[in-house]
Structure 1
């Protein structure tokens, strides 16, 4: 295996390519995230939301943020009204993440928009994520860049989501596959 190529990571492009803000803003956000957002104490969801808004996040009314939430870049995060963000959710959003209204993102779920050009030079590659109204990402899901979770869709615990999850469907596993419908055909 000695003839297998190795990429020199010291030459990888794009270390700060996704920042979109001056260094001082990114560092100020890091301090505020630690004190107010990822903090494990049971501080107010309104306070967490307000600190995120100060740094450019668009957060709707009545959003609940549980402790230990992490947000890489708040200026690339939009969350609609009345959504619930569970304990330990991580928005590793080097690209835009859009979460609709009445969405539940349960404990320890990670949404990551970034990857790398692993065959070329490890350059950062990003793709946005969109979660439509009423969706539920249950515990410890992994949502990858380019994913779109449709209206009222459900992802079972530990599901890896890449690509599209159609509206109203339940998906499970890795690779994720359809396992049922959330509601009966009559809407109940």
Structure 2
């Protein structure tokens, strides 16, 4: 990714964090998603997968991605087979976001793979990848922060905010999210949809 030095780009004064090529690609991408996918009917998941793949995303078979999903950069996105990305989900993937197979990211959840260096007076952007393992469930309006790895079968409850790694087969809730109990599924036989 073409991340610029904040000191030279004057990011704290409104300058860009990414190269001109990156910004032009995102303009084309945003327009393409609006025209080709944003207003498609719910059953056209296959068409939306093709649009994403054409722009560099890695999308598994039968993944269902709703038309109202906001994706910052498709080349920074990998979604496994049979995964559901619900209505209004925001994948703010300035850094890479990888979502495993048979996972669910519910309506209006937000995954953010970047932040700024709080110690830097120039406001340097820092990207940190998010990884959701197979069979995870990120519930409605939940937030997953930069650099978080969510273990296989873990659940983040509605409106939870996760900033640290989540153990496999564990349910988390709250802000900041804390483990509340095991999910109680066999890690080999999780069935969420």
Question: 2:72 aligned with 1:72, yes or no?
Answer: yes
More deviation, 167-176/43-52: 43-52
**Partner SS state of residue 164, structure 1:** coil
Tell me the residue number matched to 1:48.
48
Rounded to whole Å, the distance in 1 between the matches of 2:147 and 2:22 is 26
**Partner SS state of residue 108, structure 1:** coil
Tell me the residue number matched to 1:9.
12
- The structure that has the greater radius of gyration is 1
More deviation, 104-113/41-50: 41-50
Tell me the residue number matched to 1:96.
96
The runs of 4+ residues in structure 1 deviating greater than 4 Å are: 184-188
TM-score (norm 2): 0.84
Give the aligned length.
179
1:111–1:142 contact (8 Å) kept in structure 2 = yes
Gaps of 5+ in 2: 1-9
Gaps of 5+ in 1: 1-6
**Partner SS state of residue 180, structure 2:** strand
Deviations 1:130-166 (A, max 9, x none): 0000000010010111001100011110010112100
Query: In structure 2, do the counterparts of structure 1 residues 62 and 8 end up closer, same or farther at CA, with 3 Å as the change threshold?
Result: closer
More deviation, 130-139/59-68: 59-68
Rounded to whole Å, the distance in 1 between the matches of 2:57 and 2:185 is 36
What is the Cα deviation at residue 24 of structure 1?
Answer: 3.9
Tell me the residue number matched to 1:25.
25
Tell me the residue number matched to 2:117.
117
